[in-house]
Amino acid sequence: MTDQYTFDNPVTRYQQSAPAAEMQQAPPGVEERITPTPDLGADTYRGSGRLTGRKALITGGDSGIGGAVAIAFAREGADVAISYLPIEEADAENIVALIEAEGRTAIAIPGDVMDAAHCRDLVRKAVDGLGGLDILVNNAGKQIAVESLEDISDEQFDETYKTNVYAMFHITKAALPHLKPGSTIINCSSIQAYAPSPNLVDYASTKAAINNFSKGLSQQLAPKGIRVNVVAPGPIWTPLQATGGQPAKDLPTLGEDTPLGRVGQAAELAPAFVFLASPESSYVIGETLNVNGGIPSP
């Protein structure tokens, strides 16, 4: 059976039809309505006990990268809490079912991470439901492409920062009292932090902030035995792209400018998160691990 360990050519590993312009949805989008179907590793990820007994909270864990990480963590032996917007309930139920199919505890916590009070409540519910917390993945994100700075509304700028940066701050702050030595925090940045697209000025700047926040926090927490790292994806086929994250006209060619010549899949991100969450990366701190199809980045 093909899994993440299968030896093959990464250029042709995914031979799906290109995303179509008509796949554009209103945000936040529902994964089950996207064609081609994003690959979260549900049929391919094979666990090996690398996170046995761990307890993880993943924001935006209902679909896309967060959904793929939730599946991988469960198959590696972790219990998992996921946060998501109430409108994404159908996607969340699918991920919960996949977690529970591995015999792991799944905690589903709907709500909006733009709300600071919800961020704190989210951590409390995750800790109560899982019986503790030792992995935090700040993955929830907002990305809306706008050609001109003059056309970015105050509301969009505010919501992008509240979702991508403020939520990371509030959730991490609330989680810290529960994290013991050996715990890990993994934040989600982007290639946009290094090579910002002109139509993603607000989004790209939040991803640069995430890198900087994470590197500073990693220095603060390392002496306490808590590791902070970052994963920076390139163009990945998720609901984020099909809900205004990219102009509709650009969807069919998404990822073609990478050295691999194709868009990435969320299933290809999950192993990076597993590595950074597991003790095998015990000497990796303040690192930004780029998973971007070969785009040169620092």
Active site residue 203: yes
Catalytic residue, candidates 14, 166, 203, 283: 203
- Which run of H or E residues covers position 79? strand 79-84
Rg for the chain (alpha carbons), in Å?
Answer: 18
Q: Crossing angle for the helix pair 64-75 and 89-101, nearest 10 degrees?
A: 20
How many CB atoms are closer than 10 A to CB 32?
A: 13
* Cβ atoms of residues 83 and 122 within 8 Å: yes
Measure the N-to-C terminal CA separation of the chain; round to a whole number of Å. 35
Strand runs labelled E in 27-144: 55-59, 79-84, 106-110, 135-138
Q: Crossing angle for the helix pair 64-75 and 270-277, nearest 10 degrees?
A: 50
Catalytic residues: 203
